[in-house]
Amino acid sequence: MKEIPLLISGGRIIDPSQGADMVGDLLVLEGKIAWLGPGGSAPLQGDCAVISASGMIVCPGFVDLHCHLREPGFEQKETIATGTQAAARGGFTTVCCMANTNPPIDTEAVIEYIKGKTKEEGKVRVLPIACVTKGQRGEELVEMGKLAKYGAVAFSDDGRAVTNSRIMRHALEYSSLFRLPVIVHCEDIALTEGGAMNEGWVATKLGLKGMPAAAEEIMLARDLALAQLTGARLHIAHTSTAGAVELICQAKGKGISVSAEVTPHHLTLTEQRVLGYETDAKVNPPLRTEKDITALIHGLKEGVINAIATDHSPHTIVDKRCEFARAAFGISGLETALGSLLTLVHQDKLDLITLISKLTTEPAQILGTRPPVPYGLGTLQTGAPGDVAVFAPQIDWVVDPKAFASKGKNTPLKGQQLVGKVMATIVEGKIVYQDETIEIKPA
């Protein structure tokens, strides 16, 4: 069946990949970006659907390098159906799902399962990240070549660090044969054992065991040294401390092949959110301090940190409604990412173009172009996948977890007003989410 072309008209089109920032029209044809230019001049013949985007931003669909879709194994927390619906509501058109499922993503069978489920129930593109070690036990490497062939886009034992440095070295050596990055969760568990939040005065006040910044920085320093030794590609998950930004900056200066991401919550919330034993603010790495936030934002602007990734970690109410020390780590983040990040733009701490770049073009560059990553991901260049996010930067709304598509209602932002709302999300030319106020008219 031939699809009707989609014209997104009158919006401010921002595509950092080609330095585009203009008010105009964007045409999506047969699932691909066909044209962008001044309003009223699109090369159109016959029927088309029109989204009027005046006053809105039109940009490449967001690419999330780090989310937990929980399926297979933890369907009570999230499924591919609900997680990708949440992604669509958040403006994300591609999400990379982490390997700590049950069974974990360490065989081609699990990758095939995820592909099949995504085809049946997925709203957005799902790219699987495979484990580094079998069962994430840190003992034996997965069959990286085979998993890369079946569609793994990176390797990660996220949730824990690969503690054995020799195994980590081998992981980097093997992954470099396929030019795929190893994504590392930097945590020296000897220093964080029993910890529930950032080590500092708030933890002391609450009588909770802290997780020091040094626990992240020690493991990061080791992994950077191993990346230098092997020449392999290293990607740092959820960077959260000022010291980590400094280490990554130095490593880049030495020519080490490293990229890094930061989450919306580490950019906008401090450890003070935990006051009152707020389990929805319990996350790993923990929320840090104002000083860390300043360094992370500076790192984004200077190109030390390449991408913003949600680390969307949905949990059930039971996982969170318990004593703080026993509550699960994680924040359900896909549906609030844009709204909370726009706070930084409204407060003049970050410019809009940089923000969009860190959500689109730059994470896509980290994924490269090896299949299943499509050519042109994260851009609005002609011939790229017709993946588009349309958002209204000035519309305010109140976070109501009950209205989330995600099964994970665990957000410290509940009841908070955010300014900036996703109005429509388009994947390969198909509208996968639209705000109730958006009208789509025939031309």
CB-facing half-sphere around the CA of 73: CA atoms within 13 A: 13
Active-site position among 280, 311, 319, 387: 311
Q: CB under 5 A: which stretch of 111-119, 155-163, 169-177, 293-301 binds Zn ion?
A: 155-163
Q: CB under 5 A: which stretch of 178-186, 204-212, 318-326, 358-366 binds Zn ion?
A: 178-186
Catalytic-residue membership of 435: no
Measured between alpha carbons, how far is 190 from 424 in angstroms, rounded to an integer?
45
Question: Which residue's C-beta sits nearest to Zn ion?
Answer: 185
CB atoms within 10 A of CB 375: 11
Kindly state the tokens that stand for 184.
């590392």
Q: CB under 5 A: which stretch of 131-139, 179-187, 221-229, 326-334 binds Zn ion?
A: 179-187
Strands (E), 222-368: 234-236, 258-262, 307-308
| Count, residues near Zn ion per rule CB under 5 A | 2
3-class secondary structure, 315: coil
Check residue 265 for interaction with Zn ion (CB under 5 A): no
Contact with Zn ion (CB under 5 A) among 106, 158, 216, 335: 158
Q: CB under 5 A: which stretch of 135-143, 150-158, 167-175, 265-273 binds Zn ion?
A: 150-158
Contact with Zn ion (CB under 5 A) among 32, 185, 222, 288: 185
Question: Among residues 158 and 428, whose Cβ is nearest to Zn ion?
Answer: 158
CB of 310 vs Zn ion, minimal distance in Å: 12
Q: Tokens 């900036």 map to which residue?
A: 420
Which residue, 86, 90, 110, is CA-closest to 98? 110
Distances (CA, A) of 93 to 57, 147, 214, 394, 415: 16, 23, 35, 22, 26
Question: Among residues 65 and 377, whose Cβ is nearest to Zn ion?
Answer: 65
Which residue, 144, 145, 138, is CA-closest to 100? 138
| Beta strands 440-442; 49-52: pairing state | antiparallel
Question: Among residues 15 and 158, whose Cβ is nearest to Zn ion?
Answer: 158
- Positions annotated as catalytic residues are 311
Interacting residue ranges for Zn ion, rule: CB under 5 A: 158, 185
